[in-house]
């Protein structure tokens, strides 16, 4: 069987797609590059914005009905919460359907299709049960009526049990049982086509899910509550990637630096042979320790770049968002980074158009943008997500014209700051990873401080080669090194 994964969303989804690949390869399924070549199309979905969910329905239209479709991750998980209470009442106690992923410890559970008719049967006392939760997922019912080729919804936590689900679906599978694992211990395979541009970078989740419940965010509903992976397991996975030629490791977590052993993980990984660069995303301002900042100052391989999602700089908005820090704490944090001896590039996320944001609130955001001298701001357009506090309490009250004006002012400011920052890079020597050949004598790469760079040179480079580049030109959001005569 050949499968093709369509990954939507963040790096965490890419990492999970690589885990799915690994489990399916263990079943002798083969990953392929295109929908045309595949028998099964797998959607690894995101639901952070409504737009991401819409992409799945658009994409489904392009898939011939002769091909099977499986869907996993955020989109199906938050809709599981949507199931009606009347259905919940019928669920047998031992399934603990609202959090059954935590209760499954057995290596060889019985996989059951849970339909309303089967529920009574289940009451008879099975104890090792993983449910494929079609029956409780309204999305499965609505989508599968339109697209009968949808064969499977599975929770990402159950990826390790895919071989067992496949048997239940009457696929003939053989697999190495030793490799049938609980989700967090699956070693991913970076085969997916969407990962090609990152095949010297391994994304390693060190935690998953989030307990923060920011007022606007669907993640705690879609991905559920936080768990941390062990230091040993993370180091083990990193060693496997490095032995396979990976040069850069990026640690992932919804609040990556909340891991209780985060500094230890960084220190352990920095000791590993073959590692050139270490990054992590996304940290949270209040979970930074001085020790971690010192590591940024002193450890060359820990990249001189911090991406720190502040989201807003108005105290009033931060409070409404339940972010748990004040604008002053953001200023203090920036001061600490700027106080380090090694210059660190800072990038951030801002939510644009959060409901009830006043002009005065927005001015605060502009003020701190100027202060932070950010190299990039990823502007997330506020999207109303079901289940969240903001959805229930804060109706969108910002007129379109005002939204556009604010976006433009922030964008203009960001352009100016990027120009000034990049101008200051001229004559700096930066470590660069070459990641694309554009045309003859023109190469693209990324610097240690996470900026795009164009290199113009008659020399041939290997893709993923690490070189030192002397910056001699700049444009907004890009640096250049040109050695052409
Ligand atoms: S920290 Fe807040 S914004 Fe980030 S994933 Fe958790 S709830 Fe969502």
- Distance from the CA of 210 to the center of ligand 1, in angstroms? 6
CB under 8 Å to 412, separation ≥6 — which residues? none
Mutation probe of ligand 1 site: the residue of 46, 220, 285 with most atoms within 8 A of C-beta = 220
Task: Among 46, 78, 210, name the best residue to mutate to test ligand 1's pocket (greatest count of ligand atoms within 8 A of Cβ).
Answer: 210
pLDDT at 328: 95
Give pLDDT, residue 195: 42
For 5-31, the pLDDT digits (tens) are 998 877 788 888 888 998 898 888 999
CATH of 2-185, one of 3.80.10, 1.10.8, 3.40.50, 1.10.10: 3.40.50
Of residues 102 and 148, more confidently modeled: 148
Per-residue pLDDT, averaged over 116-126, amounts to 42
The best mutation among 47, 48, 254 to test binding of ligand 1, ranked by most ligand atoms within 8 Å of the C-beta, falls on 254
Label residue 52 by pLDDT band (50, 70, 90): confident
Q: What is the pLDDT of residue 460?
A: 85
Per-residue confidence band for 99, with pLDDT thresholds at 50, 70 and 90 = very low
Atom of ligand 1 nearest to the CA of 255: 1
Least confident of 125-129, 130-134, 281-285, 292-296: 125-129
**Domains in the chain: boundaries:** 2-185, 193-423, 429-482
Q: Is the CB of 217 under 6 A from ligand 1?
A: yes
What pLDDT sits at residue 111? 44
Using an 8 Å Cβ cutoff, are 407 and 379 in contact? yes
Which token pair is 237?
A: 């996975």
CB-neighbour burial class of residue 51 (10 A; exposed 0-12, middle 13-18, buried 19+): exposed
Q: Is the CB of 212 under 6 A from ligand 1?
A: yes
- DSSP, res 258: G
16 Cβ contact list (under 8 Å, min separation 6): 44, 72, 73, 156, 159, 188, 205
**What is the best residue among 74, 212, 287, 325 to mutate for testing ligand 1's pocket, by most ligand atoms within 8 Å of CB?**
212
Q: Residues 121-141: what's their mean pLDDT?
A: 48
pLDDT in tens, 245-266: 899 999 999 899 999 999 999 9
**Cα of 144 to ligand 1 centre, how many Å?**
31
**Ligand 1 atom nearest residue 254's Cα:** 5
286-343 tens-digit pLDDT: 999 999 999 999 999 999 999 999 999 899 999 999 999 999 999 999 999 999 999 9
**Confidence band of 123 (pLDDT split at 50, 70, 90):** very low
Ligand 1, atom 1, lies closest to the CA of 212
> What's the Cα-to-Cα distance from 447 to each of 25, 278, 359, rounded to whole Å?
34, 13, 36
pLDDT for residue 124 is more than 80? no
* DSSP for residue 276: -
| Residue 73 Cα distances to 17, 45, 97, 154, 423, angstroms | 10, 5, 16, 8, 42
Q: Is the CB of 257 under 6 A from ligand 1?
A: no
User: Is 415 touching ligand 1 by the criterion CB < 6 Å?
Assistant: no
Q: How far, in Å, is the centroid of ligand 1 from the Cα of 198?
A: 25
Distance CA(12)–CA(6), nearest Å, equals 14
Q: What is the DSSP letter of 109?
A: P
Q: Please, are residues 124 and 153 in contact by the beta-carbon 8 Å criterion?
A: no
CA distances from 280 to 234, 294, 464 (A): 13, 15, 19
Answer CATH for 193-423 from 2.40.50.140, 3.80.30.20, 3.40.50.12280, 3.40.50.1370:
3.80.30.20
| Position 49 pLDDT exceeds 80 | no
Distance CA 319, CA 312 (A): 10
d(CA 311, ligand 1 centre) in Å: 10
Would the CB of 129 count as within 6 Å of ligand 1? Answer: no
Atom of ligand 1 nearest to the CA of 322: 2
- For 315-335, give the DSSP string: HHHHHHHT----HHHHHHHHH
Measure 371 CA to ligand 1 centroid, in angstroms.
24
Mean of all residue pLDDT scores within the chain = 81
Q: How many helices (H) and strands (E) does the chain have?
A: 17, 21
210 CB within 6 A, ligand 1: yes
pLDDT at res. 91: 44
Pairing of strands 277-281, 248-252: parallel
Q: Which two tokens stand for residue 211?
A: 């307990």
Residue that wins the pLDDT comparison between 82 and 479:
479
Which strand ranges, in their side-by-side order, compose the sheet holding 150-154?
A: 30-31, 2-7, 40-45, 68-73, 150-154
Ligand 1 within 6 A of CB of 214:
yes
Lowest mean pLDDT among 132-141, 294-303, 397-406: 132-141
pLDDT score of 143 more than 90: no
Q: How much helix, strand and coil, in percent to the nearest 5, is found in the chain?
A: 40, 20, 40
> Across residues 267-274, what is the average pLDDT?
97
Quote the CA–CA distance of 12 and 5 in Å, as a whole number.
Answer: 14
Whether the bond into 282 is cis, omega within 30 of 0: yes
Confidence at residue 383, expressed as pLDDT on a 0 to 100 scale = 80
Query: According to the model, what pLDDT value does residue 147 have?
Result: 84
In short, whether 206's Cβ falls inside 6 Å of ligand 1 is no
Local confidence band at 100 (pLDDT 50, 70, 90 cut-offs): very low
Instruction: Give the pLDDT score at 223.
Output: 59
Has residue 411 got a pLDDT over 70?
yes
| pLDDT of 240 higher than 80 | yes
What number of CA atoms fall less than 13 Å from residue 26's CA on the CB side? 24
Query: Per mean pLDDT, which range of 71-85, 321-335, 395-409 is the poorest?
Result: 71-85
Of the ranges 114-123, 133-142, 389-398, which is most confident?
Answer: 389-398
* pLDDT above 80 (res 120): no
| Pair 173, 191: CB distance under 8 Å | no
* Contact criterion met (CB below 8 Å) for 296 and 304: yes
CATH 2.40.50 corresponds to the domain 429-482: yes
pLDDT band at 77 (very low <50, low <70, confident <90, very high): low
Q: Is the pLDDT higher at 77 or at 195?
A: 77
Give me the pLDDT at residue 401, please: 86
Q: Output the six-digit token pair for 161.
A: 């049990």
Euclidean distance between CA atoms 191 and 189, whole angstroms: 6
- Residues 176-220: tens digit of each pLDDT: 766 555 666 777 765 443 444 456 888 888 987 788 889 998 877
State which ligand 1 atom lies nearest to the alpha carbon of 213: 7
Ligand 1 centre distance from Cα of residue 219 (Å): 6
How confident is residue 106, by pLDDT bands cut at 50, 70 and 90?
very low
Domains 193-423 and 429-482 share a fold: no
Q: Return the higher-pLDDT residue of 98 and 15.
A: 15
- With 80 as the cut, is the pLDDT of residue 76 above it? no
- CB-ligand 1 contact for 283 (6 Å cutoff): no
d(CA 224, CA 102): 11
Assigned token pair, 150: 């949808």
Does residue 219's CB lie within 6 angstroms of at least one atom of ligand 1? yes
What pLDDT score does 329 carry?
95
CB 123 within 8 A of CB 92: yes
Contact between 371 and 331 (Cβ < 8 Å): yes
Q: What mean pLDDT do residues 394-422 have?
A: 91
User: How far apart are the CA of 279 and the centre of ligand 1, in A?
Assistant: 19
Does the pLDDT at position 453 exceed 90? yes
CB-CB contact of 216 with 47 (8 Å)? no
Tell me which H or E stretch contains 264: helix 262-270
């Amino acid at each position: 069987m050949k499968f093709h994964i369509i990954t939507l969303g963040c790096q965490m989804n890419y990492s999970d797609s690589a885990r799915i690949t690994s489990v399916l390869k263990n079943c002798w399924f083969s990953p392929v590059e295109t929908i045309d070549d595949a028998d099964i199309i797998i959607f690894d979905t995101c639901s952070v914005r409504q737009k991401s969910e819409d992409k799945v329905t658009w994409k489904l239209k392009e898939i011939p009905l002769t091909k099977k479709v499986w869907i996993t991750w955020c989109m199906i998980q938050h809709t599981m919460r949507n199931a009606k209470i009347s259905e919940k009442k019928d669920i047998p106690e031992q399934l603990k359907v609202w959090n059954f992923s935590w209760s499954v410890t057995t290596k060889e559970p019985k996989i059951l299709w849970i339909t309303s008719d089967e529920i009574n049967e289940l009451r008879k006392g099975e104890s090792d049960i993983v449910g494929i939760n079609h029956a409780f997922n309204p999305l499965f019912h609505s989508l599968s009526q339109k697209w009968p080729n949808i064969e499977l919804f599975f929770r990402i936590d159950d990826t390790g049990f895919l071989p067992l689900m496949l048997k239940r679906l009457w696929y003939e599978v053989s697999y190495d049982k030793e490799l049938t694992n609980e989700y967090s211990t699956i070693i991913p395979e970076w085969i997916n086509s969407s990962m090609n541009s990152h095949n010297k970078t391994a994304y390693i989740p060190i935690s998953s899910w989030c307990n923060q419940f920011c007022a606007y965010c669907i993640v705690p509903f879609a991905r559920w509550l936080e768990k941390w992976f062990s230091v040993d397991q993370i180091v083990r996975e990193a060693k496997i990637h490095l032995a396979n030629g990976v040069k850069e490791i990026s640690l992932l977590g919804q609040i990556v630096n909340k891991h209780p052993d985060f500094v230890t993980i960084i220190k352990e990984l920095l000791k590993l042979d073959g590692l050139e660069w270490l990054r992590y995303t996304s940290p949270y301002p209040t979970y930074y320790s001085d020790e971690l900042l010192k590591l940024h100052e002193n450890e060359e391989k820990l990249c001189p770049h911090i991406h720190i999602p502040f989201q807003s700089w108005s105290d009033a908005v931060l409070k409404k968002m339940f972010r748990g820090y004040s604008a002053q704490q953001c200023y203090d944090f920036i001061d600490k980074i700027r106080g380090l001896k090694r210059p660190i590039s800072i990038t951030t996320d801002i939510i644009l158009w959060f409901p009830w944001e006043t002009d005065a609130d927005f001015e605060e955001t502009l003020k701190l943008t100027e202060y932070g001298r950010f190299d990039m701001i990823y502007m997330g357009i506020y999207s109303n997500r079901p289940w969240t506090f903001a959805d229930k309490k804060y109706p969108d009250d910002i007129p379109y014209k005002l939204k556009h004006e604010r976006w433009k002012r922030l964008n203009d400011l960001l352009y100016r700051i990027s120009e000034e920052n990049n101008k200051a890079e001229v004559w700096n020597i930066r470590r660069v990873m070459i990641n694309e050949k554009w045309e003859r004598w023109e190469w693209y790469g990324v610097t240690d401080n996470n900026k795009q760079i164009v290199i113009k040179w008659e020399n041939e480079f290997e893709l993923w080669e690490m070189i030192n580049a002397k910056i001699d030109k700049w444009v907004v959001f890009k640096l250049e090194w040109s050695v052409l005569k």
